[in-house]
Amino acid sequence: MTSIRLSALLLTGAALAAPASAQDFNAAPPNAADQQPAFEGQTRAPVLEDEVTLDRAVVAEGLDHPWGMDQLPDGRLLVTERPGRLRIITPGGEVSDPVEGLPQVDARRQGGLLDVQVRDDFDVTRRVWWSYAEPREGGETGTAVATGLLSEDGSTMEEVEVIFRQMPGWASTMHYGSRLVFDGSGALFITTGERSLPEPRQLAQDPATHLGKVLRIDPMGGAMPGNPQIEGGAPEVWSLGHRNIQAAAMGPNGALWTIEHGPRGGDELNRPEPGGNYGWPVITYGIDYNGSPIGNGETASPEMQQPLYYWDPVIAPSGMAFYEGEMFPDWQDSILVGALAGQALVRLELDGTSVTGEARYLQGQGRVRDVDVAADGAVMILTDADNGELLRLTPSE
């Protein structure tokens, strides 16, 4: 275990590779300089003066682009690797061989094996859910979700069923979205991307498709009762107008929260309401990668929802958890989110649905792909690299 000093205002340590100081993140100029927030506090929240000393333990290393994780009741973690491998990692750092029996994945570019989830009754059911980029005919791919029973020895996934296939498929290897979250009623939320290319991007506004949506399904397949009735919409659709949601979690009040990737600017924090339209690609706080406007360059429309918070420049969000542990009492009910481009663990303080402060930790130490909170309150993160790591963060004594 190595101990380093981390602070929202200062980051020091001999092993660090000259990361930017934490206060710099609000000093960077926005990409969409002419755009203005719709309300005070919608972007660039005050930097939190939160000094904390952490112990940073490498639980496992040598992982090949790990993407998602979830905890088993005995403290072990299920961890996905994008090339298509699901592994079990013990608290002591023992990494299993790949679990056999999973469907084939398309691991090109942003595809592969993605998120993984279990429910509290895993000890009884042995049931696991996971999402992945599914190869289809004609070079098309799409987000898919499967479920199966993990064998008692943890070596094999049995009785595998595909319970969801994003429609339509598309000849794209980008923007699969793909976080999985269970709600309090037992329904399974699935987040999807709009496949990035200019043509499928428009389908984020088409409720009959699964592109750029939050979906709510029965864990064994099919739409869940209680979904909104959207005219012309697929029965699984909960909300629409999303770009590429790679962060999602249930909040303390039982509502779903999501964070999606924007283009150059416009990463968004939302709390998707049933039937809500979140604007993409009609409105966004950002510009295209070539510097041109998205659509007409609009940031607001009367029929579309505003994000609760947005980033410009982007952090490239992936993985999200609400902190409700005991190790970091000052972090209670904060949102923890991984930053890929931002190379940081980001913490947001909230007052209801308003972001009142932001802090960043581990700046410059790698792309953070997923975040979770262990049963004992430690913060677990995955770094996205061909030598990815599972890290455990605890306060120093």
The b/e string for 90-116 (b: 16+ C-beta within 10 A; e otherwise) is: eeeeebbebbebbbebbbeebbbbbbb
User: pLDDT tens digits, the chain, 397 residues: what are they?
Assistant: 433 333 333 233 323 222 334 557 999 999 999 999 999 999 999 999 887 877 899 999 999 999 999 999 999 999 999 999 999 999 999 999 999 999 999 999 999 999 999 999 999 999 999 999 999 999 999 999 999 999 999 999 999 999 999 999 999 999 999 999 999 999 999 999 999 999 999 999 999 999 999 999 999 999 999 999 999 999 999 999 999 999 999 999 999 999 999 999 999 999 999 999 999 999 999 999 999 999 999 999 999 999 999 999 999 999 999 999 999 999 999 999 999 999 999 999 999 999 999 999 998 899 999 999 999 999 999 999 999 999 999 998 7
Asked whether residue 253 is domain-assigned, the answer is no
Number of domains in the chain: 1
Give DSSP secondary structure letters for 22-42: GGGGGTSPPSSTT---SSTTS
Q: Which domain holds residue 92?
A: 64-241
Q: Is the peptide bond before 263 cis (omega within 30 degrees of 0)?
A: no
Chain-centroid distance of CA 308 in Å reads 17
CB neighbour list of residue 14: distance below 8 Å, 6 or more residues apart: none
The CATH code of the domain that includes 184 is: 2.120.10.30
Asked whether residue 51 is domain-assigned, the answer is no
Asked whether residue 181 is domain-assigned, the answer is yes
- Asked whether the beta carbons of 60 and 92 are under 8 A apart, the reply is no
Asked whether residue 115 is domain-assigned, the answer is yes
Half-sphere exposure of 28 (CA within 13 A, CB side): 18
Tokens encoding 368? 């953070």
Asked whether residue 113 is domain-assigned, the answer is yes
Asked whether residue 303 is domain-assigned, the answer is no
**What residues are labeled active site?**
175
E-state strands within 118-232: 127-135, 141-150, 157-165, 180-182, 188-191, 214-217
Asked whether residue 393 is domain-assigned, the answer is no
Asked whether residue 156 is domain-assigned, the answer is yes
- Asked whether the beta carbons of 339 and 332 are under 8 A apart, the reply is no
Tokens encoding 302? 């009367």
pTM for the full model?
0.94
